[in-house]
């Protein structure tokens, strides 16, 4: 019964305008906290009111998190249960079904799909849930049941990777919660077969957000020699080979990721044109330069160098360094792609760092394309962090 639902209120000096206009989070310094509110169990569903006791909506609460409340529904009397979960998933599925012929996509992109803190990636008959907020962990069983009912997937994995769960005080146990999983899952994208390790791999096993950027880079790579740095399971290199690249070298620090890339290349029929090199990306870039290596297309897709505002300046220096080391490896008239998944580094700052790095390498450049995550990763209009991915493509002058 919603009548028994606990009530939390904004502090008198906190304007409710942002929440009323769609901002999905309320922070701990904006809430009136007392012994009662601090005692609420993480994941509790509550009613949010402004200082004048006017209702703002139904929220999920976590007193242990910097994000004290996450907006679930503008209706303060919404019942957050199986029917509500099913409706949100059906709406998310309807959007993806219009976009993709095959069921390989991000099904739920957290706040942008009305399920704050929840990420769900679909790989055919397998789905991976990242319940990165306490309320989703509490409701994981009905969420999984609703997911199976709406999509028909037979296997569901709970992924506990990533720093967000730690900030919520949640465990780090990744496990299969429904069905069975025999090993890495083959995923068809951009003409190539990728192998996704849904248990031991990074994030949910595959970076689906880069799909349109893989496709753009592949257009540049026809008949080209390609270097794919921070390749993970071969994201840019396998797409390039599918488009007709003469050869591709994938560089990553993870031996298991490179093994999956090699398996993907073999399954795709590209193994004779594909090579890997394990090692620290910065060190490998320096070594390739000393070897006099040149490529027609170089792509660098590093992990988030600036995951927080505190890490921003160091992260921007790292992005600049990557650009400076990669630019000399691009043949005259070739192309350089530089990516960032750091939400703390906005597009302008990232572009400035990359352009400075290219200039410091003594190369002139044209910025020819700016890419973002695909439409299965919608942005929440009021939450800039949901537009985290940026991809810059430069042509380096002859």
- Residues 37 and 228: their CA atoms lie apart, in Å, by 50
* Residues facing 156 on adjacent strands: 127, 178
Q: Which of 262, 208, 215, 206 is nearest to 239 (CA)?
A: 215
- Residues 297 and 334: their CA atoms lie apart, in Å, by 6
- The alpha carbon of residue 13 and the mean position of all alpha carbons in its chain are separated, in whole angstroms, by 35
Provide the 3-class DSSP secondary structure of residue 1: coil
Tokens of 277: 């090199």
Q: Please tell me which residue in 25, 300, 339, 341 is annotated as part of the active site.
A: 341
* Alpha helix (H) residue ranges in the chain: 17-20, 35-38, 82-99, 134-138, 140-151, 163-167, 211-220, 235-243, 255-268, 281-290, 312-326, 347-360
- Residues 6+ positions from 198 with CB-CB distance below 8 Å: 123, 126, 128, 157, 159, 181, 184, 185, 204, 205
- Residues 380 and 391: their CA atoms lie apart, in Å, by 19
Does 341 qualify as catalytic in the annotation?
A: yes
Angle subtended at Cα 141 by Cα 138 and Cα 146, rounded to the nearest 5 degrees: 120
Provide the 3-class DSSP secondary structure of residue 290: helix
**DSSP conformational letter for 385:** G
Active site (catalytic) residues: 341
């Amino acid at each position: 019964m919603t009548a028994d639902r606990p009530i939390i209120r904004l502090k008198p000096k906190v304007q409710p305008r942002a929440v009323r206009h769609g901002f999905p989070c309320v922070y701990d310094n904006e809430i009136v906290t007392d012994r009662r509110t601090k005692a609420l169990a993480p994941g509790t569903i509550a009613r949010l009111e402004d200082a004048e006791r006017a209702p703002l909506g139904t929220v999920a609460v976590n007193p242990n998190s910097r994000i004290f409340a996450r907006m679930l529904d503008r209706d303060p009397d919404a019942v957050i249960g199986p029917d509500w979960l099913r409706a949100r998933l059906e709406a998310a599925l309807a959007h993806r079904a219009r976009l993709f012929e095959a069921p390989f996509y991000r099904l739920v992109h957290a706040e942008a799909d009305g399920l704050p803190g929840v990420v769900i990636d679909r790989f055919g008959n397998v789905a991976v849930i990242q319940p990165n907020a306490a309320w989703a962990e509490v409701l994981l069983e009905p969420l999984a049941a609703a997911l199976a009912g709406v999509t028909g997937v037979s296997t569901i994995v709970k992924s506990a990777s990533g720093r967000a769960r730690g900030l919520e005080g949640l465990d780090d146990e990744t496990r299969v919660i429904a069905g069975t999983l025999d090993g890495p899952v083959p995923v068809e994208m951009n003409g190539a077969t990728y192998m996704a390790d849904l248990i031991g791999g990074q994030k949910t096993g595959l970076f689906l957000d880069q799909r349109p950027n893989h496709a753009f880079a592949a257009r540049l790579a026809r008949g080209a020699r390609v270097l794919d740095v921070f390749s993970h399971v071969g994201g840019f290199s396998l797409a390039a080979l599918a488009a007709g690249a003469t050869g591709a070298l994938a560089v990553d620090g993870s031996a298991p990721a490179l093994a999956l890339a090699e398996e993907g290349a073999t399954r795709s029929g590209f193994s004779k044109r594909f090579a890997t090199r394990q090692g620290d990306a910065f060190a490998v870039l320096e070594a390739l330069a000393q070897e006099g290596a040149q490529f027609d297309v170089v792509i660098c897709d590093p992990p988030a160098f600036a995951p927080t505002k505190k890490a921003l300046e160091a992260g921007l220096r790292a992005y600049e360094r990557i650009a400076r080391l990669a630019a000399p490896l691009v043949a005259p008239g070739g192309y350089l792609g530089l990516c960032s998944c750091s939400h703390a580094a906005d597009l302008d700052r990232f572009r400035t760092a990359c352009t400075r790095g290219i200039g410091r390498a003594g190369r002139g450049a044209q910025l020819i394309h700016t890419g973002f995550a695909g439409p299965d990763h919608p942005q929440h209009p009021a939450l800039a962090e949901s537009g985290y991915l940026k991809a810059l493509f430069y042509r380096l002058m002859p």
